[in-house]
Amino acid sequence: MPSIDLPNGRRIKAFRTSTPRAFPQAKPPFPRLALAAAHVVADPLAEQDPWLDTRIDWDRTIAYRQYLWSLGLGVAEAMDTAQRGMGLDWIGAQELIRRSLEAMRDTPGAVMASGAGTDHLAPGPEVTVDDVIRAYEEQCEAIERMGGRIILMASRALAKAARSPADYERVYARILGNLAQPAIIHWLGEMFDPALDGYWGNADHYQAMETALAVIQANAGKVDGVKISLLDKEKEITMRRRLPEAVRMYTGDDFNYPELIAGDAQGHSDALLGIFDPIAPAVGGALAALSRNDLGEFHAILAPTVPLSRHIFQAPTRFYKTGVVFMAWLNGHQDHFTMVGGQQSTRSIQHLAELFRLADAAGLLRDPDMAVARMRALLATHGVA
């Protein structure tokens, strides 16, 4: 297998790649629902101001969704992983959702749900709760007109405008009540987006959980599930055990997902995760093992992906998308390491070198020769030769 000299602290050390892992394959239905929040592929050749403009390579972006579907995963579209609010605005999100829905209809068995939020409404002192309701309604109506299902994203504008937990209860009751199909509620923690600190009307997550549970219980018929992204398994398990029977818990815990998906005697979590984008072959293999009730193989496949995920999602967590796109480039799903909004610059070469080592350890560099060639090119641009 090929070797490469990688930075390790202030030193350069030789690293030999290993044979990529051959993951088992199976077709859904799996014992868990698994949605991968998918990234977008930038168009590096478009005339643009990279920090200001959003130019997307639609062919490669949709091809990646088809790849995820081919592995048996569903797609969570236009979410945080697609740089929603960090390069992808609502106008771009609508086009992304439209194109993905068209591709889904041409893909037997494909599953997709799409993020609806209020990101076209800039938070500010003049924004009211009623303004937030109208913004949510605009996005939900647009997605449902296209035939999409809703993931109700957390709102920066609501976090700014709300004065009490009752404001959250009023907003969610109104939006959920008008939806054609049950939605997934997404509670995105402040580690992913600092503007969402104090969501549900309380900075204490357990107190905030009481409001979220009250919303879910009052509108259970319109809630398919809830995804919480707090990177704390105990909080997820606590909430999971209190959900109405028909409401799913979708883990958003990119640190502890194998344990949460496997579950315990009192239940399990389904999954809606950004890390599923770069580790999709392992996820498909693990779910295939779970279909055979082979928990040993399930954990053997996913355990090596956890250090990789924790590295990709290390603080500042909001920059994790850089690692996701880096993995897609290393594995040949796109021809460049360029991101919408210039976000490829948010992680250091030391970070990316460690990511390379961890991806190899998880068996996820599908063509080591290509991955090494691309990593060498990146190192050269950083003065490492």
The whole-number pLDDT of residue 378 equals 97
Identify which of 187, 333, 313 has the alpha carbon closest to the alpha carbon of residue 255: 313
Per DSSP, the three-state class of 67 is: helix
Q: What is the mean pLDDT of each run of 10 residues along the chain (385 residues)?
A: 94 96 91 98 91 92 98 97 94 98 96 98 96 98 98 98 98 98 97 96 98 98 97 98 97 98 97 98 97 97 98 96 98 97 95 98 98 98 88
> Model pTM?
0.96
d(C-alpha 145, C-alpha 130), whole Å? 22
d(C-alpha 101, C-alpha 104), whole Å? 5
Find residue 11's DSSP bridge partners: 8
Identify which of 54, 94, 97, 58 has the alpha carbon closest to the alpha carbon of residue 77: 97
For residue 115, give Cα distances in angstroms to 20, 111, 155, 272, 318: 33, 14, 11, 12, 17
Q: For the chain, how far is it from start to end, CA to CA, in angstroms?
A: 20
d(C-alpha 49, C-alpha 307), whole Å? 35
Residue 324 has phi, psi (to 5 degrees) of: -65, -50
Residue 119 has phi, psi (to 5 degrees) of: -70, -10
Dump the DSSP string for 96-114. HHHHHHHHHHTSTT--EEE
Are 200 and 239 a contacting pair, CB within 8 Å?
A: no
All domains of the chain, ordered by start, with CATH?
Answer: 3-381 (3.20.20.70)
Residue 297 has phi, psi (to 5 degrees) of: -70, -35
- Burial label, 239 (beta-carbon count in 10 A; 0-12, 13-18, 19+): buried
Residue 291 has phi, psi (to 5 degrees) of: -60, -25
Dump the DSSP string for 229-257. E-S-HHHHHHHHTTS-TTPEEEE--TTTH
Q: Which long-range contacts (CB under 8 A, 24 or more apart) does 333-337 make?
A: 333/41, 333/60, 333/63, 333/64, 333/67, 334/41, 334/57, 334/60, 334/64, 336/42, 336/44, 337/374, 337/378
The whole-number pLDDT of residue 48 equals 86
The token pair at 358 is 């961890």
The whole-number pLDDT of residue 162 equals 98
Identify which of 80, 89, 1, 5 has the alpha carbon closest to the alpha carbon of residue 35: 80
The whole-number pLDDT of residue 110 equals 96
